[in-house]
């Protein structure tokens, strides 16, 4: 049982804040009571919509009755907002990626540990019914011993639909930093920590032309690789290949598959919470659907905050943890470094597999 309901405040009232605010009502372990934004009018609008308090950013950071800052700012602001939250003695939960630079991520985690507050972060899709079901199948031996995995996030880029796509092509963007956190977090949940990494990258188009509105026709410079391929050696033995691209128009590849000595597992899109989960074992002539063993299969964004709040209140480790988000950040950097320096990169910031969620949780609860 939870000892108390923690009080959270959002900083960054943009697109993604809506689903956090909507879902907060579902979870018993925390309430979102206030929000702030560098653009105060945005905070006021969100606050009015969800009947919570609007603050200036400094005032929210100083508020005595806020336990957790949910940092939903743009990636370039993740580090500075999180550092301020930690300095103010508050727990902080960042949207992905944890920070842009690896040095900032490491410093943030160390600063929080010194201050005695928690750092957590998105994605929390690995707590959804789809990936938790895959976790249970692997742990229960349905595919034997995992041998390998492959993941694919292939698309032509975002300039045809996103109203302001520039950031996808600037430092901190690119396909691996944008979508890699979902795939890497799922892989770590399923297979454990990564020991070493190598990779190759290329930039196919040095410029991109926006074809969405309102910037139709504007040409933007591409600063980062747009086809990023990683090879990940897991400490437990399996080898994964992860291909992320903004350079592919059409393909036939799955999101994520795990291959074991006794069969193969088709993992659902790790950017979602639900299924389908499919398995095919030696001797079976077809893939078959596996019913989900766990809940939170709909859009449950915020379940990672609920888990952190529950863990704080009950003095247990939380799952979408500082170590996990830092390991993911380290892996994304390591793939790019390996490509630039033409070598394998050993990891430093390992993490334990986050504990599986319990079966039969009551709606809105974590334990
Ligand atoms: N939009 C999505 O579908 C989506 C999905 C998954 C993850 N995310 C992540 O969520 C985060 C936010 O994305 P978004 O789409 O909501 O962006 P957004 O641009 O719509 O909103 C970001 C908000 O943060 C505010 N902000 C920026 N810098 C700030 C600062 N220093 N202090 C206070 N407020 C600041 C902006 O004014 C804006 O209101 C990003 O980290 C992104 O990676 C977004």
Q: How many CB atoms lie within 10 A of CB 238?
A: 21
Is residue 131 a part of any domain in this protein? yes
Q: Are residues 157 and 286 in the same domain?
A: yes
Q: Does the beta carbon of 61 sit less than 6 angstroms from any atom of ligand 1?
A: no
Domain of 136, CATH number, reads 3.30.360.10
Q: Are residues 253 and 115 in the same domain?
A: no
CA distance 53 to 60: 10
Question: What 3-state class would DSSP assign to 233?
Answer: strand
Q: Does the beta carbon of 110 sit less than 6 angstroms from any atom of ligand 1?
A: no
In angstroms, what is the span from residue 339 Cα to ligand 1's centroid? Answer: 29
The stretch 212-218 carries a mean pLDDT of 95
Q: Residue 163: its pLDDT value, please?
A: 86
Query: Which pTM value belongs to this model?
Result: 0.97
Q: Are residues 222 and 277 in the same domain?
A: yes
CA distance 222 to 170: 6
Q: Does the beta carbon of 19 sit less than 6 angstroms from any atom of ligand 1?
A: no
Q: Are residues 36 and 79 in the same domain?
A: yes
Is residue 35 a part of any domain in this protein? yes
Q: Are residues 133 and 280 in the same domain?
A: yes
The stretch 182-210 carries a mean pLDDT of 98
Peptide bond into 294 cis (omega under 30): no
CA distance 293 to 129: 7
Percentage helix, strand, coil, to 5, in the chain? 35, 25, 45
CA distance 353 to 80: 28
Q: Are residues 101 and 138 in the same domain?
A: no
Query: Rounded to 5 degrees, what are φ and ψ at 34?
Result: -155, 160
Query: Rounded to 5 degrees, what are φ and ψ at 9?
Result: -130, 140
User: SS3 letters for 235-277?
Assistant: CCCCEEEEEEECCCCCCCCCCEEEEECCEEEEECCCCCCCCCE
The stretch 170-180 carries a mean pLDDT of 95
Query: What are 300's two structure tokens?
Result: 């449950």
Q: Residue 4: its pLDDT value, please?
A: 79
In angstroms, what is the span from residue 94 Cα to ligand 1's centroid? Answer: 10
In angstroms, what is the span from residue 286 Cα to ligand 1's centroid? Answer: 43
Q: Which of 121, 149, 179 is the last residue of a domain?
A: 121
The stretch 94-115 carries a mean pLDDT of 98
Is residue 13 a part of any domain in this protein? yes
Q: Are residues 22 and 170 in the same domain?
A: no
Residue 92 CA, chain-centre distance (Å), reads 15
DSSP 14: S
Residue 222 CA, chain-centre distance (Å), reads 24
Q: Are residues 96 and 139 in the same domain?
A: no
Q: Does the beta carbon of 76 sit less than 6 angstroms from any atom of ligand 1?
A: no
Query: What are 119's two structure tokens?
Result: 């750092």
Q: Are residues 101 and 134 in the same domain?
A: no
Q: Which of 252, 273, 290 is the last residue of a domain?
A: 290
Shortest CA distance to 303 belongs to which of 127, 147, 165?
Answer: 127
Largest CA distance in the chain: 63
The stretch 163-190 carries a mean pLDDT of 95
CA distance 349 to 325: 10
Q: Does the beta carbon of 103 sit less than 6 angstroms from any atom of ligand 1?
A: no
Q: How many CB atoms lie within 10 A of CB 67?
A: 22
- pLDDT digit string, tens, across residues 267-313: 999 999 999 999 999 999 999 999 999 999 999 999 999 999 999 99
pLDDT category at 164 given cuts 50, 70, 90 is confident
Question: What 3-state class would DSSP assign to 145?
Answer: coil
Q: Does the beta carbon of 304 sit less than 6 angstroms from any atom of ligand 1?
A: no
- Give the number of the atom of ligand 1 that is nearest the alpha carbon of residue 17: 16
Q: Does the beta carbon of 57 sit less than 6 angstroms from any atom of ligand 1?
A: yes
- The β-bridge partners of 9 are 34, 69
pLDDT category at 2 given cuts 50, 70, 90 is very low
Q: Whose CA is nearest to atom 39 of ligand 1?
A: 14
Q: Does the beta carbon of 84 sit less than 6 angstroms from any atom of ligand 1?
A: no
Q: Whose CA is nearest to atom 3 of ligand 1?
A: 16
Q: Does the beta carbon of 73 sit less than 6 angstroms from any atom of ligand 1?
A: yes
- pLDDT over 70 at 90, yes or no: yes
Is residue 331 a part of any domain in this protein? no
- pLDDT over 90 at 1, yes or no: no
Q: What is the CA radius of gyration of the chain?
A: 20
Domain of 58, CATH number, reads 3.40.50.720
- Give the number of the atom of ligand 1 that is nearest the alpha carbon of residue 42: 39
Q: Does the beta carbon of 72 sit less than 6 angstroms from any atom of ligand 1?
A: yes
Q: Are residues 51 and 95 in the same domain?
A: yes
Is residue 324 a part of any domain in this protein? no
In angstroms, what is the span from residue 335 Cα to ligand 1's centroid? Answer: 25
Q: How many CB atoms lie within 10 A of CB 145?
A: 12
Query: Rounded to 5 degrees, what are φ and ψ at 290?
Result: -110, 125
Query: Mean pLDDT for the chain?
Result: 97
Q: Does the beta carbon of 77 sit less than 6 angstroms from any atom of ligand 1?
A: yes
Q: Are residues 106 and 184 in the same domain?
A: no
Q: Does the beta carbon of 240 sit less than 6 angstroms from any atom of ligand 1?
A: no
Q: Which of 290, 325, 357 is the last residue of a domain?
A: 290
CA distance 250 to 36: 41
Per the structure, the count of domains in the chain is 2
Range of the domain at 58: 6-121
Question: What 3-state class would DSSP assign to 273?
Answer: coil
Q: Does the beta carbon of 74 sit less than 6 angstroms from any atom of ligand 1?
A: yes
In angstroms, what is the span from residue 14 Cα to ligand 1's centroid? Answer: 5
Is residue 354 a part of any domain in this protein? no
- Write the burial class of residue 103 (CB in 10 Å: 0-12 exposed, 13-18 middle, 19+ buried): exposed
Q: Does the beta carbon of 12 sit less than 6 angstroms from any atom of ligand 1?
A: yes
Helix (H) / strand (E) containing 361: none
Is residue 191 a part of any domain in this protein? yes
In angstroms, what is the span from residue 179 Cα to ligand 1's centroid? Answer: 15
CA distance 35 to 361: 29
CA distance 240 to 253: 15
Q: Are residues 273 and 180 in the same domain?
A: yes
Residue 237 CA, chain-centre distance (Å), reads 23
Q: Residue 3: its pLDDT value, please?
A: 57
Is residue 241 a part of any domain in this protein? yes
């Amino acid at each position: 049982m939870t000892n108390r309901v923690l009080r959270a405040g959002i900083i960054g009232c943009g697109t993604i804040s809506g689903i956090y605010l909507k879902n907060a009502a579902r979870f018993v372990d925390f309430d979102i009571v206030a929000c702030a934004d560098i653009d105060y009018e945005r905070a006021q609008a969100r606050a009015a919509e969800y009947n919570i308090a609007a603050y200036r950013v400094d005032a929210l950071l100083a508020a005595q009755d806020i336990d957790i800052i949910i940092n939903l700012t743009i990636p370039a602001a993740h580090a500075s907002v999180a550092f301020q939250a930690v300095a103010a003695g508050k727990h902080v939960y960042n949207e992905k990626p944890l920070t842009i630079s690896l040095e900032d991520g490491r410093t943030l985690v160390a600063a929080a540990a010194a201050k005695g507050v928690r750092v957590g972060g998105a994605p929390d899709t690995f707590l959804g019914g789809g990936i938790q079901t895959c976790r249970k199948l692997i742990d229960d031996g349905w595919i034997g011993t995992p041998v390998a995995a492959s993941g694919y996030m292939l698309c032509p880029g975002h300039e045809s639909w996103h109203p302001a796509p520039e950031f996808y092509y600037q430092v901190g963007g690119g396909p691996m930093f944008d979508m890699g956190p979902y795939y890497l977090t799922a892989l770590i949940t399923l297979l454990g920590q990564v020991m070493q990494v190598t990779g190759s990258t290329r930039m196919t188009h040095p410029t991109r032309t926006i074809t969405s509105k309102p910037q139709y026709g504007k040409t933007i410079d591409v600063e980062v690789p747009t086809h990023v391929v990683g090879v990940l050696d897991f400490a437990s033995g399996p080898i994964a290949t992860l291909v992320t691209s903004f350079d592919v128009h059409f393909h036939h590849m799955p999101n994520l598959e795990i291959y074991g000595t006794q069969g193969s597992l088709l993992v659902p899109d790790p950017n979602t919470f639900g299924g389908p989960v499919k398995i095919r074992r030696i001797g079976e002539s077809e893939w078959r659907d596996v019913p989900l063993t766990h809940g939170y299969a709909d859009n449950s964004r915020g379940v990672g905050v609920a888990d952190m709040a529950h863990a704080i209140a009950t003095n247990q480790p939380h799952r979408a943890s500082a170590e996990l988000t830092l390991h993911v950040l380290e892996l994304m950097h390591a793939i790019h470094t390996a490509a630039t320096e033409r070598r394998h990169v050993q990891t430093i910031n390992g993490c334990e597999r986050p504990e599986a969620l319990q079966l039969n949780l009551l709606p809105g609860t974590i334990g």
